[in-house]
Structure 1
């Protein structure tokens, strides 16, 4: 694979995260508007575009930056020794900035107030456990698929997130950049700022749990 310069990799992380958040928030606004108050239909309308854009973004930008778009994923690759800590910190900065810009872009497209603070409560043990499970599952999906079928990584990640939207109580944020950015949108996809720290703590815990599981699952066999 061609090695891209750091500035191009950071640009890919910024652009990819911005498009991801524009999709998550924009599709949430559209889904809530068209669903007639049916929350299940609204969630489905939010889920399908998110999975679809993840497939596109990973396929499109994976060769440039690795298509992390997620500080938890970048942390996992850094702890695994695949990205230098300084570069990982820059990746995270690009992801956070991209996430905020993506939310603002969604607001502009739907003629909403640009600067918002979410009032949507997402609090409680079920939510936190869900974020541990969702983030651990995402990191496991990425690393295990890279080992077994690297050409299928875009499909695997997109399908995991589509599923996790529905089998987790939190609807699978699984991403600190997404969590922070969604606190800046008082729409269907939002989260109150006071609920953000616990979500991020759960996501980091899920990342570390996944790395421990991967180390055990893929440990070299000892001779009999």
Structure 2
């Protein structure tokens, strides 16, 4: 059994590495794409999806590998993680995400502290975030119900797909969204766009909890990206 401090550290470290992957691959993709946004996005997508598979595999047995406040809240709504540990997870995820952005900047010799000016506005993008997050929770809950060992791969594949089928490129994570407002790079989002993205993410996750809570009401859990009721 892992201690609370180790679980929290795993969540923070995993989220930091995730953001380093997201932002770092965005910087690299843009620098090598020669102005071709599609190529830059493809590089960003493949690195993020592959990174998620690895990170969930490594940290899943320790903390559940949520790396995402709405995933933690989804399990809290199902009473599979207590309120106090859920708050600890969320605070650690946000802190780790911010640190991860700074790591990416440092690796590419950029200013550590940045603020994005890249507006991501409009109903279509906000709706996309709701859909993307709904699908992420559906993926997690579906794997829990039918194929727990496939969870890391399924989440990585889903995010890879969602980068391309959503207009917003699937942030699907409030900690990621907030942290990406602190980078003036390919992956950035202006602070003014953050609140609506986060609201849509929470709405999408909440709807998924209701629908899949009913659909998979007889499920049992033992897997990466799972509850930490014993935290």
Query: TM-score if structure 2 supplies the norm length?
Result: 0.93
Task: Tell me how far apart the structure 2 counterparts of residues 216 and 72 of structure 1 sit (CA, whole Å).
Answer: 18
Q: Which runs of 4+ in 1 moved over 6 A?
A: none
Alignment of 1:82-101 (within 5 A): 82-101=80-99
Instruction: Tell me how far 1:215 sits from its aligned partner.
Output: 2.4
Alignment RMSD (CA, Å): 0.7
Maintained 8 Å contact 2:145/2:216:
no
Instruction: Tell me how far 1:219 sits from its aligned partner.
Output: 4.2
Structure 1 residue runs without a partner (length 5+)? none
Q: Look up the SS of the partner of 1:63 in the other structure.
A: helix
Instruction: Tell me how far 1:217 sits from its aligned partner.
Output: 1.9
Task: Tell me how far apart the structure 2 counterparts of residues 216 and 62 of structure 1 sit (CA, whole Å).
Answer: 25
Task: Tell me how far apart the structure 1 counterparts of residues 193 and 182 of structure 2 sit (CA, whole Å).
Answer: 12
Task: Tell me how far apart the structure 1 counterparts of residues 80 and 24 of structure 2 sit (CA, whole Å).
Answer: 33
Question: Which residue in the other structure is 2:28 paired with?
Answer: 30
Question: Which residue in the other structure is 1:42 paired with?
Answer: 40
Alignment of 1:61-100 (within 5 A): 61-100=59-98
Structure 2 residue runs without a partner (length 5+)? 219-231
Question: Which residue in the other structure is 1:124 paired with?
Answer: 122
Question: Which residue in the other structure is 1:205 paired with?
Answer: 203
**Of 167, 170, 173, which residue of structure 2 is paired with 1:172?**
170
Instruction: Tell me how far 1:144 sits from its aligned partner.
Output: 1.1
Instruction: Tell me how far 1:216 sits from its aligned partner.
Output: 2.9
Instruction: Tell me how far 1:213 sits from its aligned partner.
Output: 1.1
Alignment of 1:140-159 (within 5 A): 140-159=138-157
Maintained 8 Å contact 2:136/2:159:
yes
Query: TM-score if structure 1 supplies the norm length?
Result: 0.96
Question: Which residue in the other structure is 2:222 paired with?
Answer: none
Question: Which residue in the other structure is 1:58 paired with?
Answer: 56
Out of 88-97 and 211-220, give the one that drifted further.
211-220
Task: Tell me how far apart the structure 2 counterparts of residues 17 and 219 of structure 1 sit (CA, whole Å).
Answer: 29
Aligned residues: 218
